[in-house]
């Protein structure tokens, strides 16, 4: 059974760097990944995950209306996915957290969702941080 992981830490702790390193490691081994990032995080451009050390990758930009499960199923129709990585997970809606948890149940793919506890565009403690942690705990 796949697992849903939720990583969180303070700002500038290297979460995006770790996500991009994981993406690189999967791809280096010939595995296929799918990256998501929040539309509101446009520091490096909409749909781009970037770290302070210069690493960057294109990602699917999501907002509150995005059906992540439908996006994932569309990608699965093309080829198997080995890992789904979500940056800025504090911007996920409750329904989107549930969509990610539902994708884990019948598959063997890992899903990692790095997020920071707070930023200038969100409350210090996102209401869905606990939901992400609970969804992860249910699937581990």
Q: Tell me the pLDDT band of 46, cut-offs 50, 70 and 90.
A: very high
Q: What are the structural domains of the chain?
A: 4-139 (3.40.50.300)
Neighbours of 47 (CB within 10 A): 18
Phi and psi torsions of 59, nearest 5°: -145, 165
Q: Which pLDDT tens digit goes with each residue over 7-42?
A: 888 889 999 999 999 999 999 999 999 999 999 999
Active site residues: 88
> What pLDDT does 73 receive?
92
What does 54-66 look like in DSSP terms, one character per residue?
Answer: S-EEE-EEE-TT-
Segment 77-120, tens digit of pLDDT: 999 889 999 999 999 999 999 999 888 765 544 455 555 544 44
pTM to 2 decimals?
0.77
Average pLDDT (54-69) is: 96
Contact 115, 19 (CB under 8 A): no
pLDDT at 66 over 50: yes
């Amino acid at each position: 059974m796949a697992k849903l992981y939720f990583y969180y830490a303070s700002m500038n702790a290297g979460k995006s760097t770790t996500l991009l390193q994981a993406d690189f490691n999967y791809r280096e081994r010939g595995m296929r990944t799918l990256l998501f990032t929040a539309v509101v995080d446009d520091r490096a451009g909409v749909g781009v995950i970037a770290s302070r050390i210069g690493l960057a990758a294109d990602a699917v930009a999501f907002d509150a209306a995005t059906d992540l499960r439908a996006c994932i199923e569309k990608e699965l129709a093309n080829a198997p996915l080995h890992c789904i990585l979500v940056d800025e997970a504090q911007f996920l809606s409750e329904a989107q957290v549930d969509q990610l948890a539902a994708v884990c149940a019948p598959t063997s793919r890992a899903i990692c969702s790095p997020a920071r506890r707070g930023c200038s565009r969100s409350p210090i403690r996102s209401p869905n941080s606990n939901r992400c942690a609970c969804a992860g705990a249910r699937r581990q």
